[in-house]
A and B are shown apart, each in its own frame.
Chain A
Amino acid sequence: MPALRRSTCLSCVALAALSLSLYTQEVVLPLKPDSVRFLAIGDMGTGEKPQYEVAGQIIAHRGKFPFEFVLMLGDNIYGGHDPIDYQNKFELPYKPLLDAGVKFYAVLGNHDTPNERFYKFFNMNGQKYYTYKKSNVRFFALDSNYMDPQQLSWLEKELQNSGSDWKICYFHHPLYSSGAFHGSSTELRLLLEPLFVKYGVQVVFAGHEHVYERVKPQKGTYYFTEGASGSLRKGNLRKTDLTAVGYDQDRSFMLVEISGDELYFQTISRTGLTVDSGVIRRVAKISGAASWPTVRPWHGGLPGRMMVKAIDVNLTRALTATE
């Protein structure tokens, strides 16, 4: 009888684990035809086990959400930069993606060497900052380590000339962050934010802080920090008024889909738990004004209560952080 009880118990645990893994592999993004689909990862290039585990989740999720390219938010390769480091910290963990023709578009973090711009897999074409377009979306990849007047005037010119519906900027240092280790890059914000407002940049991605954070919209722009795709500072999010949703308990990555006037996002942890999701809606441009986006929760197939609970728990833990 006790043996039966034990086996029943074990079966229950196995079933629960199975259902959890099935549940956690859920993609809540709408997968609309002809949408722009991409992944955002930051601070990943450690070459350590958690980076490989996150990469495993990413690869598993690509089966359900076939994204075409990846935004690398900096700290692409930590520590040494010998050829073996490029291999162990990038080529091996993401090999299935590279083999499938997924393109990576990197920016430089403070742990990167500027010569990574010559690494073809990073698609920087020898430049420290650059721009590219995917359908109706224009991406601006910036070097926030070195925001000199030349880069600023280049950015302004490119933003001005861009007729794309969506303008997305990404760089390493977050302009708004509740991270306890670095916090917001306020000096950089003074220079970049006026340009984002003037030219209607709807979404900004950054890394640097080893947590995930979605900041409440600031002057019409949505800011995401995804700096935990390899490194993690557990419990490092402070409780601030900035945070819309934060997650600092495990590593994570973001899946993003843009279709017409809607940008859908889903943030997933190393273990496959969805920790945030939503949709940002672009409001059609009125002549002379920037196109302000609005946001509404997008829980797709996931129960909303579960999501809120997970986020609440994480923020409560962040409050007890001692770092």
Chain B
Amino acid sequence: MKRRIRATRLLLWLSVFAFVSPGFAGQARVPRDSEEARDLKTFSDRVQAYVKMQKNLEASLSTLKPTKDAAQIVEHQHALARKIADARRDARQGDIFTHEVTEQFRKIIRKAFHGPEGRLARRTIQRETPVKATVLHINDVVPDDMPLTTMPPTLLGRLPELPRELVYRIVGHALTLQDAKARLIVDFIPNAIP
């Protein structure tokens, strides 16, 4: 009888230990989530830092308000792009899409392009005007005559939300992060899109 009580107590303690200890069943889930959260926080912080810099640079230019003078729009875009490129002249691919962030994005993209939803997302891209093979560089301005590839809405629904100063754009098989006004490539993940 005493042995049975001891065994029951032992089992009880073991189950409590299993519940609270990171070495047991709960371990795999908790760190993976926090890892994802940490990586996406890294992305968000770097995006915020970019936006802060971009806003400061744009503040040094005359404010772009809706205008009938197309030259003003074009000049503003070019001036802002020059300033950003100058301020980020040492920027490298992976500054915002760090290795860890890239891994998280690749997972999100894989999910978005699999299953029945994925078929539609792939179709959205395939049905667009083909984009010529392009070698991407940080701080390159996207040519005006390059047609936009539609961003699959289901993918946009899964990716981290961006402030209005930045947009995701697909160029070929790359997922790029672009400045919405300067139309400049801020960072990109090559071969991200199937």
Question: A residues within 8 Å of B by Cβ?
Answer: 78-83, 85-87, 110-121, 124-126, 144-150, 152, 173, 182-183, 185-188, 190-191
Q: Is B33 an interface residue (CB 8 A)?
A: no
Taking the nearest CB of chain B, how far is it from the CB of A43, in angstroms? 12
B157 pairs with A149, CB closer than 8 A: yes
B70 pairs with A87, CB closer than 8 A: yes
Tell me which of B71, B121, B154, B180 contacts A83 (CB under 8 A): B71
Q: What residues of chain B lie closer than 8 Å to A147, measured between beta carbons?
A: 151, 153, 156
Query: Number of contacting residues on B, CB 8 A?
Result: 36
Task: Tell me which of B3-11, B20-28, B142-150 binds A.
Answer: B142-150
Closest to A146 in B: B151
Question: B residues within 8 Å of A by Cβ?
Answer: 64-71, 73-74, 76-77, 120-121, 123-124, 127-129, 144-145, 147-154, 156-157, 161, 167, 180-181, 183
B157 pairs with A114, CB closer than 8 A: no
Q: What residues of chain B lie closer than 8 Å to A191, measured between beta carbons?
A: 153
Tell me which of B66, B147, B152, B154 contacts A119 (CB under 8 A): B66
Q: How far is the CA of A81 from the CA of B150 in the complex (A)?
A: 20
Closest to A78 in B: B145
Q: What residues of chain B lie closer than 8 Å to A188, measured between beta carbons?
A: 124, 150, 153
Q: How far is the CA of A148 from the CA of B158 in the complex (A)?
A: 10
Closest to A126 in B: B66
If A110-B148, A111-B147, A144-B150 touch, whether A119 touches B67 (CB-CB below 8 Å) is yes
Q: What residues of chain B lie closer than 8 Å to A121, measured between beta carbons?
A: 68
Q: What residues of chain A lie closer than 8 Å to B70, measured between beta carbons?
A: 81-83, 85-87, 119
If A110-B150, A146-B167, A186-B123 touch, whether A118 touches B74 (CB-CB below 8 Å) is no
A110 pairs with B161, CB closer than 8 A: no
If A110-B149, A148-B156, A187-B154 touch, whether A119 touches B73 (CB-CB below 8 Å) is yes
A187 pairs with B77, CB closer than 8 A: no
Q: What residues of chain B lie closer than 8 Å to A186, measured between beta carbons?
A: 120, 123
B144 pairs with A79, CB closer than 8 A: yes
Q: What are some 25 contacts across the A-B interface (CB < 8 A)?
A: A78-B145, A79-B144, A79-B145, A81-B70, A82-B74, A83-B69, A83-B70, A86-B70, A110-B147, A115-B73, A115-B74, A115-B77, A118-B64, A118-B67, A119-B66, A119-B68, A144-B150, A145-B148, A145-B151, A146-B156, A148-B153, A149-B157, A173-B150, A187-B153, A190-B120
Q: How far is the CA of A144 from the CA of B149 in the complex (A)?
A: 11
Q: How far is the CA of A85 from the CA of B156 in the complex (A)?
A: 31
